Amino acid sequence: MRHIISILLENESGALSRVVGLFSQRGYNIETLNVAPTDDPTLSRLTLTTRGDDRVVEQITKQLNKLIEVVKLVDLSEGDHIERDLMLIKVKATGGMRAEVKRCVDIFRGQIVDLTNSIYTIQLVGTSQKLDAFLAAVSDAQILEVARSGVSGISRGEKILSL
Amino acid sequence: MDYLSGAEMVVRLLQDEGVEYIYGYPGGAALHIYDALFRQDRVKHVLVRHEQAATHMADGYARASGKPGVVLVTSGPGATNTITGIATAFTDSIPMVVLSAQVATQLIGEDAFQETDMMGISRPVVKHNFSIRRPEDIPVVLKKAFYIASTGRPGPVVVDIPKDMTAPDQKYPYTHPKEVRLRSYTPVVRGHAGQIRKAADLLLQAEKPVIYSGGGVILGGASSLLTELVRLLGYPCTNTLMGLGAYPGTDPQFLGMLGMHGSYEANMAMHHADLILAVGARFDDRVTNNTAKFCPDAKIIHIDVDPASISKTVRADVPIVGPVDSVLRELLALLRDSDGPAQPAALKSWWAQIDEWRKRHGGRYRTDDSKLMKPQEVIEALYRVSRGDAYVTSDVGQHQMFAAQYYKFDRPNRWINSGGLGTMGFGFPAAMGIKLNYPDELVVCVTGEGSIQMNIQELSTCLQYSIPVKILNLNNQSLGMVRQWQDMNYQSRHSHSYLESLPDFVKLAEAYGHVGVRVESRDELVPALEKALALEDRLVFLDVHVDPEEHVYPMQVAQQSMCDMWLSKTERT
Ligand SMILES: Cc1ncc(C[n+]2csc(CCOP(=O)(O)OP(=O)(O)O)c2C)c(N)n1
Ligand SMILES: [Mg+2]
């Protein structure tokens, strides 16, 4: 099963390499990884998605919690949550495809954020699934470049990940 | 308030932490610190001959004392030479602080002379590591290193110190931090009361219980509590390789070691148990054999300070995360208040069954099939001559297993070996670290001619600092354990397990200024051991020639259950 693990990490150099190192060292896989500062300058928030059965994921979270620089950790997929992945994508948009791609962008509620005579640069935000679906939808057009942020997430309702 | 340079702060903090010995080797990036060491006499430095040995010395001391051992090395090759020793300590959860010097901050990243990314290289084998960024952080960071190394599940901590952090001409106010706190590191202090009650209830209802304890009980200082619990319940107890000595080895309730080379009765009892209480043990693959076939009828209670050790390889029915001493204390209180085990009749037949198993294979070996001495009898002789009261360190191989099987440890912290990583070359420096700190104790390194040669250069250190350990070399002229596997799994194709051109160990010991004795026949053995022990202030190297054909038994059959064992070359369960 796919899990979204979100971590508050000490904002120190080397902290990220401990998290990433743990995954390769113990043979776990990371599907997506997203790290950025938070409102607290001493903390970064790291969100990763991984796959594994319950036992593997239990080990992953326990091992992550043992890292000295991991301050707090939550497996978002254990409860209701919001997940977002951001994709920037360049698609060849010439001839008939120019209208076709535009239609897809509208259906998926994306935005064309830049364009040339032959290329659309599109921004799309959503779950990873939605982004995958968009990629499939425009697969008749020539996809030139894809940049995704990796999943970021937060729990719904009252639940809060903070110190 | 004292104003000190970074180098002086390093040394002063070690003083203030009560560190008596550090083990190390100097070099460019470490020289400011070495100069600060020179200008004081409270922290004594032992100059090893290879940095790996420094880590094992610190490790041996830590295992015997429970306190963190301290190592100081230079950058680059000095630092990389410590990695095996750090990994050895990490795998066995041994508290250690390794100070590795680093090239100056402005050179980092430029592939400077003797620059190596020690933070990156050590990361997978440390509990944590720090790099010093500002000299004024030195006291707090080092204090954190000691704190992290020795609390919770202990382990090694590396502190990387760029040379400019220790510059002699820049002084900073120094105070000894009395305590440090880390918001992201708070080791548990108690187990869950409800879980402990559940464990007590299960224990009292058990019909075929076994108490299985590991190195965590020794590290957690809980050996006497464990012993009390086992005796109160009257249940059988087995120890892992790392846990030997936590429960008295000569006690009738002791089944011996369990696992790959565990005793027949310990492995049989585990397999047939209906309840296993695991304390400070981690269900290592060398214990469980095939986890899919592991102890099919047993409910498992697992006490460990590290939550990640619980249900990692074998699922626990009652997990209890907490320090073993406090959990055992609470468990004992509940058991004392109870009416005692509820199934006395079942327990009686369980013991009868165990006594049957004990008869089948009581650690016997044959001495009549060869004129050569058997390694087992050498260990038994050592046990008798030392009255079971030595600190015994060991390397890795057959000799290690024979020492574990035939030396009966009645006390914790006396059996010192690299159980998790299996590091050849560990035993001798570990013995040195112990002897230096416990000069009145007998410290014997049981080794093999393969292993001893991995750190034999330390004979020189022993001369310099007068460290009179005893080395008992079970010389079978082969990498015996490798050879045994080749005998059993590769039709005796002894690929590179035969050691040709062995040195004359007696002359070698003498060349380093020590006493060497060769023992080739049975009647020489006890007198040689007695002589070695009588020469209290000399290092004695006993080169004992033993049967190279001997195998370690029992030996679990790979990929099978706990109770599938070879009992001799021809006999299988
Ligand atoms: C550093 C290291 N390299 C290789 C091994 C693999 N290994 C395990 S036991 C062994 C043989 C040890 O030979 P010796 O020290 O003579 O002990 P014996 O088994 O003969 O008693 C070897 C090579 C190891 N454990 N450690
Ligand atoms: Mg050998």
Give the tens place of pLDDT for each residue, B100-137.
999 999 999 999 999 999 999 999 999 999 999 999 99
Task: State yes or no: pLDDT of B368 exceeds 80.
Answer: no
Spell B12-31 as b/e; 16+ CB within 10 A means b.
bbbebbebebbbbbbbebbb
Q: Let me know: does B94 contact B155? Beta carbons within 8 Å.
A: yes
Of the candidates B113, B464, B530, B536, the residue annotated as catalytic is: B113
- Sequential DSSP letters for chain A: -EEEEEEEEE--TTHHHHHHHHHHHTT---SEEEEEE-SSTTEEEEEEEEE--HHHHHHHHHHHHHSTTEEEEEEGGGS-EEEEEEEEEEEE--THHHHHHHHHHHHTT-EEEEE-SSEEEEEEEE-HHHHHHHHHHTTTSPEEEEEE---EEEESTT-----
Of the candidates B17, B44, B114, B205, the residue annotated as catalytic is: B114
**pTM above threshold 0.90:** yes
Local structure of residue B270 (DSSP, 8 states): H
**In terms of DSSP bridges, do strands A111-115 and A119-126 run parallel, antiparallel, or are they unpaired?**
antiparallel
Q: From the alpha carbon of B422, which atom of ligand 1 is closest?
A: 25
Task: State yes or no: pLDDT of B365 exceeds 90.
Answer: no
Q: Can you tell me the distance from the alpha carbon of B553 to that of B260, in angstroms, rounded to the nearest whole number? A: 9
Which chain B positions have a beta carbon within 8 Å of A163's beta carbon? 183
Query: Best mutation site among B396, B428, B478, B485 for ligand 1, i.e. most ligand atoms within 8 A of its Cβ?
Result: B396
Task: State yes or no: pLDDT of A163 exceeds 90.
Answer: no
CA distances from B299 to A145, B193, B228, B415 (A): 55, 19, 22, 30
pLDDT of residue A129: 96
Active site residue B556: no
pLDDT tens digits along B55-71: 999 999 999 999 999 99
* Alpha helices (runs of H) in B175-263, residue ranges in sequence order: 193-205, 215-219, 223-233
Which residue owns the Cα nearest ligand 1 atom 4?
B424
pLDDT tens digits along B217-252: 999 999 999 999 999 999 999 999 999 999 999 999
Active site residue B441: no
In this prediction, residues B384-394 reach a mean pLDDT of 98
Provide the sign of the torsion angle of the four alpha carbons B161, B167, B170, B172, taken in this order. positive
pLDDT interval class at B361 (50, 70, 90)? confident
Q: Can you tell me the distance from the alpha carbon of B240 to that of B72, in angstroms, rounded to the nearest whole number? A: 32
Q: Which residue has the tokens 């015994």?
A: B392
Query: Best mutation site among B418, B421, B451, B549 for ligand 1, i.e. most ligand atoms within 8 A of its Cβ?
Result: B451
Mutation pick from A68, A70, A163 vs chain B, by most beta carbons of B within 10 Å, is A68
Mean pLDDT, chain B, rounded, equals 97
Nearest residue in A to B187, CA atom? A66
Q: From the alpha carbon of B425, which atom of ligand 1 is closest?
A: 1
Task: State yes or no: pLDDT of A32 exceeds 90.
Answer: yes
Beta-bridge mates of residue B474: B448, B544
Q: Let me know: does B456 contact B471? Beta carbons within 8 Å.
A: no
Active site residue B353: no
Nearest residue in A to B133, CA atom? A13
Residue B501 sits at the chain A interface (C-beta within 8 Å): no
Q: Can you tell me the distance from the alpha carbon of B361 to that of B379, in angstroms, rounded to the nearest whole number? A: 18
Residue B198 sits at the chain A interface (C-beta within 8 Å): no
pLDDT of residue A159: 94
Picking from B184, B185, B308, the nearest residue to A59 by CB comes out as B308
The residue count for chain A: 163
Q: Which residue in A163, A162, A1, A158 sits closest to A81, CA to CA?
A: A158
**What residues are in contact with ligand 1 under a 6 Å CB criterion?**
B 395-399, 422-424, 448-451, 474, 476, 478-482
Q: Which residue in A6, A1, A2 sits closest to A161, CA to CA?
A: A6
What long-range pairs does B192-198 form, CB within 8 A, spacing at least 24? B192/B320, B192/B321, B192/B322, B193/B330, B195/B318, B195/B319, B195/B320, B196/B320, B196/B327, B196/B330, B196/B331, B196/B334, B197/B334, B198/B318
Q: Can you tell me the distance from the alpha carbon of B549 to that of B551, in angstroms, rounded to the nearest whole number? A: 7
In this prediction, residues B192-203 reach a mean pLDDT of 98
pLDDT of residue B151: 97
Q: Let me know: does A85 contact A148? Beta carbons within 8 Å.
A: yes
Q: Can you tell me the distance from the alpha carbon of A65 to that of B111, in angstroms, rounded to the nearest whole number? A: 34
pLDDT of residue B27: 98
Task: State yes or no: pLDDT of B362 exceeds 80.
Answer: no
Task: State yes or no: pLDDT of B431 exceeds 90.
Answer: yes
Nearest residue in A to B321, CA atom? A62
Task: State yes or no: pLDDT of B386 exceeds 90.
Answer: yes
Strand order in the sheet with B96-102: B44-47, B21-25, B69-73, B96-102, B156-162, B128-131
Spell B62-81 as b/e; 16+ CB within 10 A means b.
bbbebbbbbbbbbbbebbbb
pLDDT of residue B367: 79
Q: Percent of chain B scored above 70 by pLDDT?
A: 100
Q: Can you tell me the distance from the alpha carbon of B503 to that of B510, in angstroms, rounded to the nearest whole number? A: 12
Which residues 131-190 in chain B show a CB within 8 A of chain A? 131, 148, 182-185
Which residues 295-354 in chain B show a CB within 8 A of chain A? 306-308, 311-312, 315
pLDDT tens digits along B253-266: 999 999 999 999 99
pLDDT of residue A13: 87
What is the four-CA torsion angle of B194, B195, B201, B207, rounded to 10 degrees? 170
Structure tokens at A115: 């364009």
pLDDT of residue B560: 97
Q: Let me know: does B183 contact B210? Beta carbons within 8 Å.
A: no
Q: Can you tell me the distance from the alpha carbon of B33 to that of B6, in angstroms, rounded to the nearest whole number? A: 8
Q: Can you tell me the distance from the alpha carbon of B43 to that of B9, in angstroms, rounded to the nearest whole number? A: 13
Active site residue B481: yes
Picking from A14, A62, A163, the nearest residue to B119 by CB comes out as A14
Task: State yes or no: pLDDT of B499 exceeds 90.
Answer: no
Nearest residue in B to A57, CA atom? B312
Local structure of residue B170 (DSSP, 8 states): -
Structure tokens at B108: 């980092």
Contact state of B184 with A71 under an 8 Å Cβ cutoff: yes
Task: State yes or no: pLDDT of B370 exceeds 80.
Answer: no
Phi and psi of B343, rounded to 5°? -120, 60
Which residues 26-85 in chain A show a CB within 8 A of chain B? 55, 58-59, 62-63, 65-66, 68-71
Phi and psi of B571, rounded to 5°? -110, 130
Q: Let me know: does B214 contact B240? Beta carbons within 8 Å.
A: yes
Phi and psi of B457, rounded to 5°? -60, -20
pLDDT of residue B1: 83
What long-range pairs does B343-349 form, CB within 8 A, spacing at least 24? B343/B205, B343/B206, B343/B207, B346/B207, B346/B208, B347/B206, B347/B207, B347/B209, B347/B234, B347/B235
What is the four-CA torsion angle of B449, B451, B456, B462, rounded to 10 degrees? -100
Provide the sign of the torsion angle of the four alpha carbons B63, B65, B66, B72, taken in this order. negative
Task: State yes or no: pLDDT of B282 exceeds 90.
Answer: yes
Local structure of residue B211 (DSSP, 8 states): E
pLDDT of residue B464: 98
Active site residue B405: no
pLDDT of residue B371: 83
Q: Can you tell me the distance from the alpha carbon of B307 to that of B320, in angstroms, rounded to the nearest whole number? A: 8
Picking from B127, B148, B308, the nearest residue to A62 by CB comes out as B308
pLDDT tens digits along B449-491: 999 999 999 999 999 999 999 999 999 999 999 999 999 999 9
Q: Can you tell me the distance from the alpha carbon of B394 to that of B117, in angstroms, rounded to the nearest whole number? A: 32
Q: Can you tell me the distance from the alpha carbon of B495 to that of B482, in angstroms, rounded to the nearest whole number? A: 9
Beta-bridge mates of residue A145: A90
Contact state of B308 with A55 under an 8 Å Cβ cutoff: no
Which ipTM did the prediction report?
0.94
What spatial distance separates the first Cα and last Cα of chain B, rounded to whole Å? Answer: 70
In this prediction, residues B292-300 reach a mean pLDDT of 96
In this prediction, residues B434-459 reach a mean pLDDT of 98
